[in-house]
Structure 1
């Protein structure tokens, strides 16, 4: 019978209902045999038979429960009731365990009313024995039955059930003291009290007792955390206080995983409370008790919770609270959250300070920022806003440098430009524009309109230059640099066949050329000449990029011609005052290019002008040709001198020829170049109406004087020409000046004597003869007689005269 009941119990426990039915039939036969035999057995054995019969009915009850035939189960239990008086402690424990399992199963299905009945039956069975007679397992079962009964009574949710549960808990506490299970039952009892009378303080006291006696097990940790959450549902403040105590206790434990879970839960709790600085400060305080940072996973989880709260407060304009959440999120225990998260939080802290317009606080945040934060373009942009308002130019430049290195620099640099203009800081706006220009090559198509960048920079630089205390020199240099950058961009566009490079329309070209031209002319007497040259050179280069079908070119040609004229005038002025010979040569060479460009442009434009404008343009042409002549002399380009004179002929400008002649006479020119060029100049002067004999004689004498030491053959030709001119003028009113004739005749005769002394007899005779011939045209004839007398003496005595 014992063996059969044991097999039956195993079948029931494992759910082998069919097999259990077969065993029951066999055990039933044994039960009947025992019942008939019990009267003939000794009292002790007869009692054993009655206990086995009772266990049989209880197992039949369990079988019916497994088969979900509760009515039959109830019947079987009723049949077992009369036999309870015969139970021994061992059989009582076995019977109570079966009844407990039935009740527990019903409670799991939330069938608390029936479950309570079976728990009470189990409680009656186990309590029918003296406590001292129960085994250790029996005592534990008794406690489990009471705990399950209290839970079922509370689960039923009736006032009567609540009172019964309360009495049971009181009974347990009186009997067993403040054991762990009693504390749990007290917590469960407190949970079921109505919300309006919930005693959060009592709940906290019980929890704190459990925490003080924490057994350092996973189950214990989970149980405490479960009840802390339950407390949080009804009293968030009390739950936070209890959890703070638990965190402090866990800080001394070896298991860091428990501590991290508790901290994350604490962060979750605070984010579900009503917002206040005090609650955040309380969380700061408890985090200060932690000895080391949390793991990366825990830190990120906690910060994710805090970030939502932070964003919510920031979005609602509650910047003080948002700032407090930032400070909490940046606590040192979250060090392992990662550089990106820290940067994001530092940036949000900076945004809070900016939103409150607290520049000192913003500057403090910036000074404490990590290097990783500085690498973020968004952080640099926010720091730029602070620097602009604090007028910290060094910090602003640092921020622009960081923003400029970002892949998505376009938007951030655009924002920096807008901030600079909003704050009235033109210098920073210009600096940001330059960064954007530098990064143009790396910008996505259509995100940056390069001509617009140049226009903005030029306008801002122009505004800056007009300020009274502005550093005009540097500003003008930057302004010239912008126009030169335009030219460079145009050159790139010209060589680029892709569609997106065709940025400079005719309107754009007209704007840049017009502004370069007007700025240069407006400031010709104010700016350094070299800046005027740079600006007008840019103007000319921009005009050269106008398409051929851009319409009438009259105005463009006029701008081009006048630009070349002013550039040439400025370059010659710079060259004349230049101490550096190499730089002087560069200026002259550059000037010659502009003169050549003027020459090429003029013929096409000249027919379009009226007489007055044509005369003015020819005067300008003659002037820069004189400059060109001067440059050719300085560069020792002797072969170009005659060409320049020839180009100046249509201008019919005596002043230009005089300037050329003066320059040529002062130069140490080659003999042939000097002679041929001066002859051309003199001939051109001769045919002009305003020329007279005095000037002709002067130029002839000067040319003779310059040529004689270099090439006396050329000088002799000049002497012949002088004789010819003197003969022609003798018959007119404009006679050759007497002193010029005397000087040239005397100089020529002296040169004859030099030749004679050098034993060049024939050459000496030629020079002497020509000198006497020139002296013939002197009015009094005295000089001619003297030279003839000396010539005769020279011939007779071999040169003693």
Structure 2
């Protein structure tokens, strides 16, 4: 190197400079391949600093080669310094930006790496050809989010056409995996929301490019399932983002369905149901928390639309064989949807719809769903008349259900409590014909249970018989003797159907009835 420097102090011609550079670059290639990056770097520095060389267009190549040498070793500060000293036109060179980005990552200077990546994205289509190598470098450095950001830039600019169509589907899948892998790791809700928003942008881009991208059936199934799983994983994020991602999952299932025969499509209904179930649960949770009336109403409207869509789909779903676990999961989702639809109908005072919702549960009724229905009805602030009718419908379903998920013994065990509620509500509302029908139902049930191990509870019989007889006394005072006798006789008959202590009450009521006669 010193000998070359002594060859002349004057300015070399352009031809001589090029001839020298050819030899120098060959030497740099040799020493670089042997791992002598320090020597290669010194030769690059010599060419840049030696005044006798006329550097014009070659200048850019020299700088880039020098940066490459510096970025492949620990001398990153020298790479930064050289890059800063480059002419502005050379600092916009995509290959130079890629190399300085690589140098920053090697130095674990990730904020600087982000800066150079942004600069690379701004130089146009030529710069974007380096984005996939940038993603690879980021992954090598353990910077998953940075790698995902590179892929996002590629996805946002697919119209450039620099990526072959056959690789695009894999690109979407890789980007979705990279983003979702970080969910929950930050420990910060805001950052998780940002990650989920990026996942959505990736899948939205995939859906937009569906006509230009050939997705296989397997890839469509993977994206639909993966987007659903991410939504489940991210349920603590902003519910609007979760709902948006589930909508995308259903869109990809639609695309998947188009590639399948009718026979194979029957298994997709469960995916739709799972997506709608999470959507409706997320929305109804927000509805219950919301205090602003307009927003609360919007939430309930959205929840009701999903619930009614699900009910329609479930009623027309294909009859396919499922495992016991799948069927159990389906029943759980169906019951949840019915309970939410009932809540929405009550919120909007759509009492004409309440009986049909309760009636639809007849074939899948269990003790828990029945309790949820009753609780939902009793907690509302509606007219007592509407509440009574709803409770009456619940009792009817309980008495007539053939649901295999509610044993007859279990139904009979809970019915007295429901009849008690129905009877008391009817009396409070002065709906005496309904109250009398409650006594009739209690009599029928007590007759059915008479002589069995599961008897009608004595305390319920004593309470209802006493209250009914008191009503008979009220009718006597009003000189309505026929109604008085009818109520009194039903009260006595009910007491007679109980155990020994109830029979004593029956005798007492007979004595009092005789005094009224």
User: Take 2:165 and 2:153, find their aligned partners in 1: how far apart are those partners?
Assistant: 15
Tell me what 2:200 maps to: 484
Does 2:97 match 1:380?
yes
> Shift in Å at residue 413 of structure 1?
0.8
> Shift in Å at residue 434 of structure 1?
1.4
Tell me what 1:556 maps to: 268
SS for the counterpart of 2:260 is coil
> Shift in Å at residue 543 of structure 1?
1.6
Q: Deviations over 1:270-310 (max 9, x none)?
A: x848xxxxxxxxxxxxxxxxxxxxxxxxxxxxxx8997687
User: Take 1:727 and 1:410, find their aligned partners in 2: how far apart are those partners?
Assistant: 81
Q: Deviations over 1:343-391 (max 9, x none)?
A: 6665454234225552121122344456554444333222211221122
Larger Rg: 1
Q: Deviations over 1:22-43 (max 9, x none)?
A: xxxxxxxxxxxxxxxxxxxxxx
Tell me what 1:420 maps to: 138
Tell me what 2:436 maps to: 720
User: Take 2:7 and 2:209, find their aligned partners in 1: how far apart are those partners?
Assistant: 70
Does 2:33 match 1:321?
no
The number of equivalent residue pairs is: 475
Kept in 2, the 8 Å contact 1:388–1:420? The answer is yes
Tell me what 1:626 maps to: 339
**Unaligned ranges ≥5, structure 2:** 33-39, 402-407, 496-504
Tell me what 1:175 maps to: none
Kindly tell me: are residues 505 and 403 of structure 1, through their superposed partners in 2, closer, same or farther at Cα, counting changes over 3 Å? same
Structure 1 residue corresponding to 2:157, chosen from 420, 423, 439 = 439
Structure 1 residue corresponding to 2:106, chosen from 389, 395, 412 = 389
Kindly tell me: are residues 479 and 723 of structure 1, through their superposed partners in 2, closer, same or farther at Cα, counting changes over 3 Å? same
Structure 1 residue corresponding to 2:418, chosen from 685, 695, 699 = 699
Kept in 2, the 8 Å contact 1:353–1:362? The answer is yes
User: Take 1:348 and 1:783, find their aligned partners in 2: how far apart are those partners?
Assistant: 109
Q: Deviations over 1:181-219 (max 9, x none)?
A: xxxxxxxxxxxxxxxxxxxxxxxxxxxxxxxxxxxxxxx
Kindly tell me: are residues 268 and 481 of structure 1, through their superposed partners in 2, closer, same or farther at Cα, counting changes over 3 Å? same
Tell me what 1:215 maps to: none
Tell me what 1:79 maps to: none
**Unaligned ranges ≥5, structure 1:** 1-234, 244-265, 274-303, 757-763, 793-801
> Shift in Å at residue 509 of structure 1?
0.6
> Shift in Å at residue 626 of structure 1?
2.0
Tell me what 1:267 maps to: 12
Moved more, 511-520 or 384-393: 511-520
Moved more, 728-737 or 623-632: 728-737
Does 2:172 match 1:454?
yes
| More contact order relative to length (CA 8 Å, sep ≥ 6) | 2
Kept in 2, the 8 Å contact 1:404–1:439? The answer is no
SS for the counterpart of 2:135 is helix
Q: Deviations over 1:686-715 (max 9, x none)?
A: 224236677445334434555667x65xx2
Tell me what 1:39 maps to: none
Kindly tell me: are residues 238 and 694 of structure 1, through their superposed partners in 2, closer, same or farther at Cα, counting changes over 3 Å? closer
Q: What are the equivalent positions in structure 2 for 1:66-85 lying under 5 Å apart?
A: none
> Shift in Å at residue 570 of structure 1?
5.5
Does 2:76 match 1:359?
yes
User: Take 2:231 and 2:220, find their aligned partners in 1: how far apart are those partners?
Assistant: 17
Tell me what 2:354 maps to: 641
User: Take 1:368 and 1:638, find their aligned partners in 2: how far apart are those partners?
Assistant: 77
Kindly tell me: are residues 744 and 594 of structure 1, through their superposed partners in 2, closer, same or farther at Cα, counting changes over 3 Å? farther
Q: TM-score, normalised by structure 1?
A: 0.49
Q: What are the equivalent positions in structure 2 for 1:299-314 lying under 5 Å apart?
A: 314=28
Tell me what 2:394 maps to: 681
User: Take 1:407 and 1:731, find their aligned partners in 2: how far apart are those partners?
Assistant: 85
Kept in 2, the 8 Å contact 1:374–1:402? The answer is no
User: Take 1:692 and 1:347, find their aligned partners in 2: how far apart are those partners?
Assistant: 82
Tell me what 1:202 maps to: none
User: Take 2:319 and 2:470, find their aligned partners in 1: how far apart are those partners?
Assistant: 49
Tell me what 1:545 maps to: 255
Kindly tell me: are residues 379 and 787 of structure 1, through their superposed partners in 2, closer, same or farther at Cα, counting changes over 3 Å? farther
Moved more, 406-415 or 477-486: 477-486
User: Take 1:507 and 1:631, find their aligned partners in 2: how far apart are those partners?
Assistant: 38
> Shift in Å at residue 663 of structure 1?
0.9
Kept in 2, the 8 Å contact 1:701–1:744? The answer is no
Structure 2 residue corresponding to 1:742, chosen from 466, 480, 485 = 466
Q: What are the equivalent positions in structure 2 for 1:49-88 lying under 5 Å apart?
A: none
For the aligned residue pairs, the C-alpha RMSD in angstroms reads 4.8
Kindly tell me: are residues 633 and 393 of structure 1, through their superposed partners in 2, closer, same or farther at Cα, counting changes over 3 Å? farther
Kept in 2, the 8 Å contact 1:565–1:624? The answer is yes
SS for the counterpart of 2:317 is helix
Tell me what 2:215 maps to: 504
> Shift in Å at residue 665 of structure 1?
1.2
User: Take 2:289 and 2:59, find their aligned partners in 1: how far apart are those partners?
Assistant: 62
Tell me what 1:402 maps to: 119
Kindly tell me: are residues 347 and 238 of structure 1, through their superposed partners in 2, closer, same or farther at Cα, counting changes over 3 Å? closer
Kept in 2, the 8 Å contact 1:490–1:545? The answer is no
Kept in 2, the 8 Å contact 1:410–1:443? The answer is no
User: Take 2:127 and 2:4, find their aligned partners in 1: how far apart are those partners?
Assistant: 46
> Shift in Å at residue 645 of structure 1?
1.4
Tell me what 2:311 maps to: 599
User: Take 2:259 and 2:7, find their aligned partners in 1: how far apart are those partners?
Assistant: 83
SS for the counterpart of 2:95 is helix
Kindly tell me: are residues 528 and 721 of structure 1, through their superposed partners in 2, closer, same or farther at Cα, counting changes over 3 Å? same
Tell me what 2:501 maps to: none
User: Take 1:731 and 1:556, find their aligned partners in 2: how far apart are those partners?
Assistant: 48
Tell me what 2:129 maps to: 411
Tell me what 1:690 maps to: 409
SS for the counterpart of 2:255 is coil
Does 2:258 match 1:513?
no
Kindly tell me: are residues 388 and 731 of structure 1, through their superposed partners in 2, closer, same or farther at Cα, counting changes over 3 Å? closer
Kept in 1, the 8 Å contact 2:155–2:205? The answer is no
SS for the counterpart of 1:391 is coil
